[in-house]
Amino acid sequence: MHLIDEQNRKIEALEARISKLEKRLAKSNSYNPNRVYVCSVKPFQKLFEASGKNEWEARRAVRTACNAETSAMFCEDSAILCEKYD
């Protein structure tokens, strides 16, 4: 019985720590209305850039612009570079 009580105390302590860490994580990733992501790709000599309020949106926009003027194989996600500005 003593071992079970000890294990239960450890579980409670770990759950409390997890809860605190989850709250810290949520706070650090909080919404920032000024945050902008800028993504670019340069297949040859032409630079395509796009921005968005999140990285997915900026990547999609730059990929769409690139695909409109070049072959999709030059606009792959692995070639797109993104930066975050707060």
* 3-state SS class at 35: coil
Q: How confident is the model at residue 83, as a pLDDT?
A: 97
Same domain, 24 and 42: no
pTM of the model: 0.62
Lowest-confidence range among 48-52, 64-68, 69-73?
A: 69-73
Q: What is the distance between the alpha carbons of residues 41 and 71, in angstroms, rounded to a whole number? A: 13
Same domain, 26 and 48: no
Domain hosting 8: range is 1-30
Task: Answer yes or no: do 52 and 74 share one domain.
Answer: yes
Of residues 57 and 22, more confidently modeled: 57
Same domain, 81 and 58: yes
**Residues 3-49: tens digit of each pLDDT:** 888 888 887 888 888 888 777 766 666 667 788 999 999 998 999 99
| 13 plus 45 within the same structural domain | no
Stretch among 5-9, 52-56, 82-86 having the lowest mean pLDDT: 5-9
Q: Are residues 11 and 42 in the same domain?
A: no
Is there a single domain that holds both residue 46 and residue 18? Answer: no
